[in-house]
């Protein structure tokens, strides 16, 4: 990842999400190995997500974001599929994410991709109720 794309990812995260943490290119570059992103024909970032290992068996999908010019073109599902493949290749067993209660588009995408909401909590820093969504990627035998 180069600085140009890191800056575009940071701008996209800040603009499209209701985050309590501000992103800049340096913050993105510090964990560049965790980011998956797709480029538009122009070479600019169309969509991104961060995939982090949080336990030996568990990966977290953070801030799946699609630029408003590229909504409903399959970028979100493509990135979720890539995240699942990467987690499986690294022996992950479970994918997890959190979704704000008022984010129907994300809930629809994650439901379509076989995630289930397993819990909900209130996050006082943002003032939002947040759903915890999970998908088992290595089912029990």
**47 is a domain residue:** yes
Average of pLDDT values for 85-111? 95
Strand 128-136 vs strand 58-66: parallel, antiparallel, or unpaired?
unpaired
- Residue 37's domain comprises 3-136
pLDDT category at 135 given cuts 50, 70, 90 is: very high
Tell me, what's the pLDDT at 17? 80
Question: Could you tell me if residue 122 is inside a domain?
Answer: yes
> Is residue 85 in a domain?
yes
Domain count, the chain: 1
Instruction: Please provide the DSSP assignment of 56-112 as one string.
Output: SSEEEEEEEEE-GGGTTSSHHHHHHHHHHHHHHHTT--EEEEEEETT-HHHHHHHHH
Quick: pLDDT tens for 2-26.
999 999 999 999 998 878 889 999 9
* Burial degree of 91 (CB within 10 A; 0-12, 13-18, 19+): exposed
pLDDT in tens, 47-64: 999 999 999 999 999 999
Domain membership of residue 118 (yes or no) is yes
Nearest to 65 by CA among 36, 27, 85: 36
* Stated length of the chain: 141
In a domain, residue 66? The reply is yes
pLDDT score recorded for residue 36: 98
Q: Report the CATH number that the domain containing residue 84 is assigned in CATH.
A: 3.40.630.30
């Amino acid at each position: 990842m180069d600085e140009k794309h890191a800056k575009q990812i940071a701008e996209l995260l800040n603009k499209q999400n209701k985050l309590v943490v501000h992103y800049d290119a340096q913050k993105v570059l510090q964990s560049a190995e965790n980011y998956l992103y797709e480029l538009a024909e122009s070479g600019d970032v169309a969509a991104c997500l961060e995939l982090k290992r949080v336990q030996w068996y568990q990966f977290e999908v953070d801030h799946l974001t699609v630029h408003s010019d590229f909504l409903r073109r399959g970028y979100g599902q493509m990135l979720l599929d890539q995240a699942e493949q990467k987690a499986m290749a690294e022996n992950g067993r479970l994918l997890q994410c959190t979704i704000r209660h008022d984010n129907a588009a994300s809930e629809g995408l994650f439901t379509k991709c076989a995630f289930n909401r397993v819990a909900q909590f209130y996050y006082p820093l943002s003032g939002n109720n947040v759903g915890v969504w999970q998908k088992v990627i290595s089912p029990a035998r």
